[in-house]
Structure 1
Amino acid sequence: MRSQSPLMKSAAVVLALGLTLTACGKKEGGPGAGGMGMGGPTEVGIVVVASEPVNLTTELSGRTSAYLLSEVRPQVSGIVKARLFTEGSYVKAGQPLYQIDAAPFQASYAQAQATVAQAEANLTAARLKAERYAELVKINAVSKQDNDDAQAQYAQARATVAAGQAALQTAGINVGYTKVMAPISGRIGKSNVTPGALVTAAQATELTRIQNIDNIYLDINQSVTELMALKRAAAAGQIGEATTADVELVLEDGTVYPLKGKLQFSDVSVDESTGTVTLRALFPNPNGVLLPGMYAKARIVSGVVGNGILVPQPAVTRDPKGNATVMVVSKDNKAEPRPIKVAQTVGDKWLVTEGLQAGDKVIVEGLQKIRPEAPVKPVSVGAAKEAPAAAGSAQKAK
């Protein structure tokens, strides 16, 4: 076997020295460097919670209905001569919609006029006779019986005139009813009759329908169980009464209607078939976006938690039994699990009703890197986000 040359021996010495230095470098830059080794605290992002009044909201589903609704029906019988509106258009109260053949009613009106004229002529004759007999009876020129008959005839003639005038007024009303008017302003639907159709007074089938949707109702149902739970919580002092009657409407596609409504009333009776109470909210609808019959959801403020605590949702975890817990930083800067009770979500946060107090430091970032009782280095989430920005500014300055 050949002996190694001096050059090869030198290369081997250099290689061995390089491996030794590399091993030393790894040892120095290991997990213990910078205080982040087994014994160093783990940096975690925290938020310091505070108590504040928080509104409890309830989301209920329902359907919209028109603010005003009129089912147009004829008030006299006859043949429809003409339709005077465009289907689907906006009509104003008092606008003519249909013309019913008025000839029979005009004839009845003329006859009533003649009857009144005749009655008034008879009234004049009866009045003059009654006045003469009233004077003659004083001088015994006529008998008291004849005077009494004259006065009775005069009273009867006055009654006949009054009856005739009432019949004339009725005939005039019927003539007016031959022109079917819009009772309210709003959007008119399709016509259920055409010219030439026979209609009857107060028929079951409507001629058309008018809906005013400048404002619109949302009728929603709340279960009695939820209602009673809220009342018990209010009686126990856990929540206060809602300070606002504003209602937020969520459309079927999930978008939020930009205008808020007002809660109008809560029904006083329970629907036996569903076990719910009906609530009604009124929403402005200036652009006609909301239409009657639409499915929607309403977010209603049902109460107020006076000392509510809000915690970001990522900070809350569940144990195998489904109980909510958070990790808080103890006084000696250790991760401490804390069981809590949550009521509902408010935006991207949980409303905590038990388990936390104002000033507690809740860990929201770095939960996967820690375990209970492990030492941690708490850093405010806001400060943690500002640090990289500051570092970037320093780099630019260089």
Structure 2
Amino acid sequence: MTLPYSFPPAAAWRLPRTWRLPLLLIALATLLAGCGKDAPKPGTATPEVTVLTLQNQSLALEQELPGRTIASQESDVRPQVDGVLVKRLFEQGQLVKAGQPLFQIEPALYQAALNEAQANLKTAEAAAVTARLRAQRMQALGKDQLAARQDVDDAIASAQQAAAAVQAAQAARDTASTRLGFATVTAPIAGRIGRALFTPGALVTSAQADPLARIQQVDPMNVDITQSSNEYLALRRAIAEGGVQANSAPVRLRLSDGTDYPLPGTLEFADIDVQQDTGSITLRAQFPNPEGQLLPGMYVRAQVGQGTQQQALLVPQSAVDRSAKGEAQAWLVDKEGKARLRTFRTARAVGNQWLVLDGISAGEQVVVAGAQGLADGMPVRVKPAPVAAPAGKD
């Protein structure tokens, strides 16, 4: 290397001592500058990033909400007459049909009351026949003026009273027959019956507080689902504005052990009031349950269809970071091929992607790989990402 500066001959060192040090520093600085010009510069290769071009798409929105299973019908089996239980006529925990006999109450007293009522009815019917015939004869005599008008009227009234007595006796017989029928306690609805709460030998009454047993209809099974009133109102607003199209997608269930219930259900209705303590509303769905897999009181997670968003924009979650304030951030590549850090808002997670609320538009390129070491405004080389799979449901 040729030095850009030549030191003076030895005679120069005979200069005053105060000049020697400045001359030495100037020579050293010139030497270093010359070396720097000849040194090679470090590599400045443009980084390569993989980008995904965002496109609007139709997205079926779903939300996973908590719920509880409830029997579609439930009824207590209660006695309607007093007496001693003499027999249980069903197997506990089995399915029963409506009207099937379940318990037998001692019927002797009610059978005797029915026999008495039937005898009274026959007596009343016989007396009515006699009174009717007498009234007919008195009317015939009255026409020939062979009987006083008062006697005729009395005979007719007696016949009518006898007929009314027959009707009263018939009602008493029907009542006695009904009470005898109540001695056999039957199932009010079809469904699965639980354990018997009273055993043979127990005295039961029509006014007792405890039921004899309980029947629950579990096919179909109802599921009460809880949803925030704010989310419900936001969905109604989005449907009204046209951003979301309402649909009647089936409801799906995930059981408490993490398995999926195989049969879909239908959304029946939404409750008309908001629970004051939780600020939520109740949605009711109904599911077929032919195998009895769903039991009343089970905790489940329901996948409820929320409509279809026609212009949905999704960003992969792997491309999104969070700022110190919790805001969503992603690297984008602008039209000049430079990296730009963009802050935007997300609405919800959809599978492994975020549904964009605002801040990013369709057609922009988001960096999905190679974002390490990027700086805002840095030129980059773009590599398209593979075609993404269809968006999953929310």
| Aligned equivalent of 1:172 | 177
Residue 77 of structure 1: how far off its partner (Å)? 0.9
> Matched residues in 2 for 1:383 and 1:138: separation?
110
SS at structure 1 position matched to 2:372: helix
Q: TM-score if structure 1 supplies the norm length?
A: 0.82
Which residue, out of 38, 47, 51, partners 2:52?
47
| Aligned equivalent of 1:247 | 251
Letter in 2 for 1:337: L
| Aligned equivalent of 1:378 | 382
1:151-210 per-residue CA deviation (whole Å, 9 max, x = no partner) reads 111111111111111111111111111111122222111111111001111421010111
Letter in 1 for 2:173: L
Higher radius of gyration, 1 or 2: 2
Letter in 2 for 1:126: A
Say if 2:141 is the partner of 1:136.
yes
After superposition, residues 15-54 of structure 1 pair within 5 angstroms as 37-40=43-46, 42-54=47-59
Residue 220 of structure 1: how far off its partner (Å)? 2.4
Which residue, out of 266, 269, 273, partners 1:269?
273
1:350-388 per-residue CA deviation (whole Å, 9 max, x = no partner) reads 10121222222221122224332223333233279xxxx
Say if 2:279 is the partner of 1:281.
no
Residue 296 of structure 1: how far off its partner (Å)? 1.8
After superposition, residues 65-214 of structure 1 pair within 5 angstroms as 65-214=70-219
The 1:383/1:250 distance shift into structure 2, 3 A limit, reads closer
327-336 or 119-128: bigger deviation: 327-336
Letter in 1 for 2:269: F
Letter in 1 for 2:230: T
- Normalized per residue, the structure richer in helix is 1
> Matched residues in 2 for 1:346 and 1:170: separation?
65
Which residue, out of 299, 302, 315, partners 1:298?
302
Residue 31 of structure 1: how far off its partner (Å)? 11
Which residue, out of 342, 345, 365, partners 1:341?
345
> Matched residues in 1 for 2:306 and 2:300: separation?
18
> Matched residues in 2 for 1:369 and 1:275: separation?
46
Say if 2:350 is the partner of 1:352.
no
RMSD (Å) for aligned C-alpha atoms:
2.3
Residue 232 of structure 1: how far off its partner (Å)? 4.2
> Matched residues in 1 for 2:138 and 2:245: separation?
81
| Aligned equivalent of 1:311 | 315
The 8 Å contact of residues 55 and 242 in structure 1, kept in 2 or not, is answered as no
Q: TM-score if structure 2 supplies the norm length?
A: 0.82
In structure 2, stretches of 5+ residues that fail to align are 1-39, 389-394
SS at structure 1 position matched to 2:313: strand
The 8 Å contact of residues 330 and 336 in structure 1, kept in 2 or not, is answered as yes
Letter in 2 for 1:157: A
> Matched residues in 1 for 2:239 and 2:275: separation?
24
The 8 Å contact of residues 239 and 246 in structure 2, kept in 1 or not, is answered as no
Letter in 2 for 1:294: M
SS at structure 2 position matched to 1:311: strand
| Aligned equivalent of 1:17 | none
The 8 Å contact of residues 247 and 306 in structure 2, kept in 1 or not, is answered as no
SS at structure 1 position matched to 2:168: helix
> Matched residues in 1 for 2:248 and 2:167: separation?
58
215-224 or 147-156: bigger deviation: 215-224
